[in-house]
Structure 1
């Protein structure tokens, strides 16, 4: 559950705090990408979740992928930073490669699959599909904002 957090600055004004999440876009040698069908809303997404206070972002991405899919990974590089403007969540997304394990579901995932690029575009909401497509397109880290479903800022579309 995401909680809204705030604190007051010296002038007594409330300043919001952001939640930081991490996700791993796991790409096999054949180009297929590991995705989960989330238990809470049925949406297809790259595995990920809240970054713990005591872990590095890369470690968090590896932990989340393992917890949600059973697949052990190594991060290769940061591929994007994404902000959900409605919820105040900033997500750091890493391209990863699988190094072991076997697919399995968890409390957070009801299905685990390897999608093609076409399946990503047809099965995932734009705000989450773009994270995967950015990781596949090796153009350097992207910075994007969305409302939970659609991208909000102008620029090149992944679709």
Structure 2
């Protein structure tokens, strides 16, 4: 039974859905954060609330985590963590306001050159941003939390 009292059929797997942003400046640099909870470099984003449009999640989470206001433009990828059952939607976003700064959720906020992504980020997270830079339509990938499968 779920926290809100709904029942799932026996054996039905449960998933979590998150949404993140590939925020790309005009100079090609990409917005990333260093999470306070685990020190990992990732694109900003978070859990989609039950009553929330994923694009609103992207707007909310990026503002909370970076101080940057964005407008999601296009879905660039769907990524599933096979170990944890998390499905992540990534949207390419344009900046519409705010200033990048550390927050309660991010020790550091940085605008990285695309060549720096694989140096700082695990493969499963760097690929979300490199996919968004390709402009080839939505990609779909699976991973184990660090590496593509």
* TM-score normalized by the length of structure 1: 0.87
Match of 2:24 among 23, 27, 31: 27
Please, which of 111, 117, 120 is the counterpart of residue 114 of structure 1?
Answer: 111
Q: Partner residue of 1:3? A: none
The residue number in structure 2 matching 1:40 is 37
How many residue pairs are counted as aligned between the two chains?
A: 144
Distance change (3 Å), C-alpha of 1:7 and 1:14 = farther
Out of 2, 13, 17, which is 1:16 matched to? 13
Could you list the runs of 4 or more consecutive aligned residues of structure 1 that deviate by over 3 angstroms after TM superposition?
A: none
The alignment yields a C-alpha RMSD, in angstroms, of: 1.2
Give the match's secondary structure for 1:16: coil
TM-score (norm 2): 0.93
What residue ranges of structure 2 are gaps of 5+ in the alignment?
Answer: 1-5
> Do the aligned residues in 2 keep the contact of 1:7 with 1:15 (CA within 8 Å)?
no
Alpha-carbon offset, residue 14 of structure 1:
2.1
Q: How does 1:41-120 map to 2 (within 5 A)?
A: 41-120=38-117
- Paired position in structure 2 for 1:136: 133
Give how far 1:128 is off. 0.1
Structure of higher RCO (CA pairs closer than 8 Å, 6+ residues apart): 2
